[in-house]
Structure 1
């Protein structure tokens, strides 16, 4: 038996077993690392989703708040308080994007009143 070991057969078998053991350890640690990275990626995507949801929620809350404000202004205008139309000024509400609708409505209202005055004169 000693002669076989010295002939290289036992050494070759030992090297193969050692290489297989090292390879299995490398695969084991690689699989563990991949699982950990997967869990980190999932946790990161959950955190990102929560951040996006918080941003969307804040934006929606702002839009609904402005909608409630405009509905109150509209209701007071329907109740006969014409001075409340000044609240449609975008500088008053802090929203420059709202100028398109109220400003165009003022122009239409002015145009209708002008036509009515002309019709009443003739």
Structure 2
């Protein structure tokens, strides 16, 4: 279970960090226009970047918690043992020749 938590955490950090970097790049372009509104672009950039960072951390927490609770590991060991046991069973003569597998003679009936 700990490996699954680690996997989900790294996956979410990777994906959301890429999105965060794109948002920061867009923010750099958008903040330059705020200078026309008589606002200091550096202060605006710092405020928006902090808001984006807080949002990033909240998304990581939310997504990891959701994925960990929705995760259900599949048990593969018992399912692998079953086919091997079924293959070793010998077929009986009554069911080996008929196509239906029910032990009857098939469509032709008794002669």
**What TM-score does the superposition give when structure 2 sets the normalisation length?**
0.31
Q: Bigger relative contact order, structure 1 or 2, given CA contacts below 8 A and separation 6+?
A: 2
Structure with bigger helix share is 1
Higher Rg: 1
**What TM-score does the superposition give when structure 1 sets the normalisation length?**
0.29
